[in-house]
Amino acid sequence: MAGYTLSQLEADIRSYTEVDSNVLTGAILSRFIEHAEFRIFYDVPSDNNRFVSEGNLAIDDNTINVPGLGTKGNTGTVFVRGVEVFNSTSVTTGAGEWLQKKDQTYLSEYVNRSTGSSGGQTGQDVTGFPKYYAMFGGATGTSSTTSGGLYLAPTPDANYMHRVYYDMVPKSLVTKTSGTYLSQYFPQGLLYATLVEAYGFLKGPMDMLTLYENKYKQEVQKFGGVQIGRRRRDDYTDGTVRIPVNSPSP
């Protein structure tokens, strides 16, 4: 399968733009590539960004730290897709239950209502098996132990096992120079998205910037069709994917 290493992508960018390394240095191209990767990340929910973290809840601690910078060689949690808590200290002996995602204000009201309190936060709490969770700190902590995470309610009364399902920005081609998921499975999209960054930096020509912007949009539709279409279904349960093909008019 054709794909890119960092050096191959850099060489193609300079060839397409007809600009040498005196202008498009390695440092400049690295920023373009990272910007392109972030753009693709936010344009298409890709399976390679999905991770799962396991651990045990702490008794009388109503927070979970989200996986942070470097946990998977990545840049940290961007958002949480789900939280599962098991009624045991092990996933092999307990049954899992999915927590309901709520806002912090809902959890505060729940705690006050459960303890018979009224008004603002009183310092009182209710313990038991968690039922709700809410994000705080944006759930984008740069460290798995310092910032960003999840509030739980009720506060755990045992060291229940938990799983956090979340998305991270994957490791960049700039650091994983031999190849990444995007550079191997979506090389054309990564190329076009980086060329858009490059032509914007070079300030033209505008027709080339428009050309590669349109090429990127065409390719990202195909990539999205795989990631959020074909990879999320199968022929047995969903039926064969049927794509209409327009015939030329007689």
Using CA atoms, how far apart are residues 222 and 220, in angstroms rounded to an integer? 5
Return the minimum-mean-pLDDT range out of 38-47, 172-181, 199-208, 238-247.
Answer: 238-247
The helix (H) or strand (E) run that includes residue 151 is: strand 149-153
Q: Are residues 27 and 75 in the same domain?
A: no
- Do residues 152 and 57 touch, judged by C-beta distance below 8 A? yes
pTM: 0.78
**Nearest C-alpha neighbor of 137 from the set 195, 198, 80:** 80
Please give the residue range of the domain that contains residue 187: 6-46+170-232
pLDDT at 229: 78
Q: Are residues 54 and 111 in the same domain?
A: yes
Number of structural domains, the chain?
Answer: 2
Q: Is 136 helix (H, G, I), strand (E, B) or coil?
A: strand
Does any domain span residue 238? Answer: no
Does any domain span residue 237? Answer: no
Residues in the chain: 250
Using CA atoms, how far apart are residues 180 and 45, in angstroms rounded to an integer? 16
Q: Could you report the per-residue pLDDT of 95-146, keeping only the tens digit for each?
A: 889 999 999 899 988 887 665 554 444 445 789 999 999 988 754 444 444 4
More confident position, 133 or 72: 133
Q: Are residues 123 and 25 in the same domain?
A: no
The DSSP-derived string for 1-58 is: -----HHHHHHHHHHHHT--TTTS-HHHHHHHHHHHHHHHHHHS--GGGEEEEEEEPP
Q: Are residues 161 and 182 in the same domain?
A: no
Instruction: Write down which residue in 112, 142, 168 finishes a domain.
Output: 168
**Nearest C-alpha neighbor of 66 from the set 49, 79, 57:** 79
Q: What's the one-letter identity of residue 40? A: I
Q: Could you report the per-residue pLDDT of 160-190, keeping only the tens digit for each?
A: 999 999 988 888 999 999 999 999 999 999 9
User: How many beta carbons lie within 10 A of that of residue 94, not counting itself?
Assistant: 14
Q: Are residues 185 and 160 in the same domain?
A: no
Q: Are residues 175 and 163 in the same domain?
A: no
Does any domain span residue 13? Answer: yes
Chain mean pLDDT for the chain:
84
Confidence of residue 231 (pLDDT cuts 50, 70, 90): confident
